[in-house]
Every structure is written in C-alpha cells, then in structure tokens.
Amino acid sequence: MEDDDFLKHNNIIIENITPNEKQARLKITDSSLNPYGIVHGLIFALGDTIMGLTCKNTGRKAVTLDANISFLKPGKGKFLIASSMVIKIGKTTSVLSAEIADDNNNIVAVMQATYYFID
C-alpha cells in the first residue's frame, strides 16, 4: 500500500493489518480541512479505506456496496485514527464497522458498510 497515490495524497498511513487489529491514521493538514476548519469528507474516506483493507485481508477483492456514517464530533487535532471490525464475512458480501477517533481518543464518527466480493 506504500505506493497507493490516494493514500499518499490524503496523508493516510496504514498502521496495522493483522487478523486481530486493523488501523489506519490520517495526518491532519491544512488541505484536510473544510471551510469550517474541520475534517469532514476524509473521515468517510478513512473509514471506508480501513474497512476495504480489512476485506482485502481475507484474500479477496471487494468493492463498497453501501455505507453509512454518523458524525459525532468535529474532526480536529493532529491526526485521526480508524479501526475496523468484521461483523460478517459471507460468500458474496461482507459487513464491517469502523470507528474513527481523534488524537485525544474522542470518537468522531462511526461507520457501517457492506462490501461485495468481485472475485
């Protein structure tokens, strides 16, 4: 994933992808902020990225079928970190959740998504 242009452009660093831990970090920069001075759209991208990589960790290719996000607090600070959890892995689809927190461990958003296996 070190050569992924999307991750590099958006300052997303994959920290842990193991069977028990999946985490990605977003370094907040001026270009990460919306006009109100908070991270917004990149929170969704961070959550979708870590859930997608969790699916990929199964050895299969998947695309997002649908996703929901609840923004709980403003995305502020030096970084955001996302962790994911598998709810169900099926034959053709999987359901995952993600939690996105700031650098003070405040949960700023929660997500749930369904992924479709394309292979």
pLDDT in tens, the chain (119 residues): 557 899 999 999 998 877 767 899 999 999 999 999 999 899 999 999 999 999 988 899 999 999 999 999 999 999 999 999 999 999 999 999 999 999 999 999 999 999 999 98
Strand order in the sheet with 93-102: 12-17, 22-27, 79-89, 93-102, 107-117, 62-71
Overall number of domains in the chain: 1
The pLDDT value recorded for residue 2 is: 59
Provide the residue range defining the domain that includes 47.
Answer: 5-117
The pLDDT value recorded for residue 117 is: 97
78: CATH: 3.10.129.10
The pLDDT value recorded for residue 62 is: 95
Cα distance between residue 29 and residue 22, in whole Å: 23
Q: Which amino acid is at 37?
A: G
At residue 104's C-alpha, the angle toward residues 102 and 109, to 5°, is 30
The pLDDT value recorded for residue 17 is: 77
The pLDDT value recorded for residue 25 is: 96
Residue 73's Cβ-side half-sphere holds a number of Cα atoms within 13 Å equal to 14
At residue 111's C-alpha, the angle toward residues 49 and 10, to 5°, is 35
The pLDDT value recorded for residue 20 is: 67
